[in-house]
């Protein structure tokens, strides 16, 4: 009898479990109350939302808030102590593989491309992408030399896949610009001792925040320090420094232009969106780990992406996007471009802003690069120089 009752209780419980509704509070890696959170994001510090009506004062306050959300910076370098390790002569320019102290924490390798002739030259900081490709960083922007055949083949393949088989850094150097590209922390020669592992970027970000630092903030601080280093070079005209990046490099580019007065013009390819569009239920979202390299704690309580980028106003800025870019839904891109445009218009600086949506996916084509060069020619060069074209 006791055995019969036990079986009866078991099967009754099993039937109840099968008919009871499943309880959960996470869907597609989002809390079910996502929409309510988004409704609460009013971006009170954005230009036009803020009570501050003096633009320069707003710019200062907004920038301070972004720095606050970037957490503690690496200590600035007390001496760059640049060393040229090797040099590769190319048509119309040379590329130096160098090392310098980017901060008092880190001594970093970099590629520095220098045009032939007498300077000082205009200069552009080349900010590499994410792409879940960590084995190379600076090599995505300037063609490497003195490396293994595997690294060279990997870099050439990446240039083909993302940049239309053209290294953007070499392209600008051929056309009269000093160009520098540095590995961001976790990429290339600043990667993991244990080797490349996609998931470990989340662990790095977590560990940095437990130490009171931000991995994303550190990347941006080091981009700012790279500009500081660049302007110290005697062959660079410090009044004519710009920045460029594609994908995550685009995010880094508008962040850098917004936060460094030493950057006079910035170009961005395929990275601008609103949070509302980026975190929509039907949007294509990543595993989440990639976002840590572009995530600032708490900043969304004050400013959205286009609001931060607008801190760069009234500088000359170029924002390009792809109409079929699956990473950035086009309606969200258009909304972000509209927000940015209204800020430049409010300062009567709309002639200094370019936004364009190309009939392309997530890609930086040669025609796009040509227009980026023309943008820098217009805003950084003292006079039009002859374009040599690309040999890469």
Burial of 40 (0-12, 13-18, 19+ CB in 10 A): exposed
Is 3.40.50.1820 the CATH number for 26-380? yes
Q: Is the pLDDT of residue 8 over 80?
A: no
Q: Is the pLDDT of residue 386 over 60?
A: no
Per-residue tokens: 349: 């600086």
What length is written for the chain?
Answer: 392
Query: Percent of the chain beyond pLDDT 70?
Result: 90
Q: Is the pLDDT of residue 279 over 70?
A: yes
What is the predicted pLDDT for the residue at 67?
98
146 phi-psi bin (left φ>0, alpha ψ -120 to 50, beta other): left
pTM of model > 0.95 = no
- Residue with the two structure tokens 């977590």: 206
In angstroms, what CA-CA distances link 147 with 84, 133, 154, 183, 256? 16, 17, 11, 15, 29
DSSP 66-126: HHHHTBSPPPBPS----EEEEEEEETTEEEEEEEEESBSS-EEEEEEEEESSSS-EEEEEE
What is the predicted pLDDT for the residue at 11?
52
| Average pLDDT score over residue span 354-376 | 98
| Average pLDDT score over residue span 298-325 | 98
Q: Is the pLDDT of residue 285 over 80?
A: no
DSSP code at position 213: B
Give the DSSP H or E segment for 211. Answer: none
- Residue with the two structure tokens 């009170």: 44
- Residue with the two structure tokens 């086009």: 330
Query: What are the pLDDT digits (tens) for 214-272?
Result: 999 999 999 999 999 999 999 999 999 999 999 999 999 999 999 999 999 999 999 99
Q: For 239, list phi and psi in degrees, rounded to 5.
A: -85, 0
Q: Which of 14-28, 51-65, 139-153, 301-315 has the lowest mean pLDDT?
A: 14-28
CB neighbour burial string for 339-354, b if at least 16 within 10 angstroms, e if fewer = bbbebbeebeeeebbb
Per-residue tokens: 267: 């170009």
CA dihedral 141, 70, 62, 254 (to 10 degrees): 10
């Amino acid at each position: 009898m006791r055995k019969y009752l036990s079986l009866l209780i078991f099967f009754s419980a099993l039937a109840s479990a099968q008919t009871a509704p499943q309880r959960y509070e996470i869907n597609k890696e989002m809390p079910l109350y996502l929409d309510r959170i988004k409704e609460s994001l009013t971006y009170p510090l954005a230009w036009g939302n803020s009570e501050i009506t003096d633009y320069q004062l707003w710019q200062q306050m907004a920038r301070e808030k972004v720095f606050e959300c970037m957490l503690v910076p690496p200590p600035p370098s007390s001496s760059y102590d640049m060393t040229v390790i090797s040099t590769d002569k190319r048509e119309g320019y040379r590329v130096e593989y160098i090392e310098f102290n980017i901060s008092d924490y880190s001594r970093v390798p970099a590629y520095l491309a220098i045009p032939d002739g007498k300077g000082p030259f205009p200069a552009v900081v080349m900010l590499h992408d994410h792409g879940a490709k960590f084995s190379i960083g600076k090599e995505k922007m300037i063609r490497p030399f003195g490396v293994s055949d595997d690294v060279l083949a990997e870099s050439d393949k990446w240039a083909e896949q993302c940049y239309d088989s053209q290294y953007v850094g070499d392209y600008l150097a051929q056309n009269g610009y000093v160009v520098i590209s540095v590995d961001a922390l976790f990429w290339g020669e600043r990667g993991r001792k244990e080797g490349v592992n996609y998931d470990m970027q989340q662990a790095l970000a977590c560990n940095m925040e437990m130490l009171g630092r931000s991995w994303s903030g550190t990347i941006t601080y080091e981009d700012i320090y790279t500009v500081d280093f660049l302007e110290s070079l005697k062959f660079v005209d410090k009044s004519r420094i710009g920045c460029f990046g594609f994908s995550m490099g685009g995010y880094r580019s508008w962040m850098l232009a917004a936060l460094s007065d030493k950057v006079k013009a910035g170009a961005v390819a395929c990275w601008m969106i609103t949070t509302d569009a980026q975190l929509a239920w039907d949007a294509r979202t990543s595993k989440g780990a990639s976002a840590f390299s572009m995530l600032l704690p708490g900043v969304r309580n004050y400013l959205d992406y286009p609001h931060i980028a607008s801190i760069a106003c009234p500088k000359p800025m170029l924002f390009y996007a792809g109409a079929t870019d699956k990473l950035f839904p086009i309606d969200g891109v258009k909304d972000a471009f509209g927000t940015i445009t209204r800020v430049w218009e409010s300062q009567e600086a709309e002639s200094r802003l370019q936004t364009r949506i190309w009939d392309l996916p997530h890609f930086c084509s040669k025609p796009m690069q040509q227009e980026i060069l023309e943008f820098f020619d217009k805003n950084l060069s003292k006079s039009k120089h002859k374009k040599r074209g690309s040999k890469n």
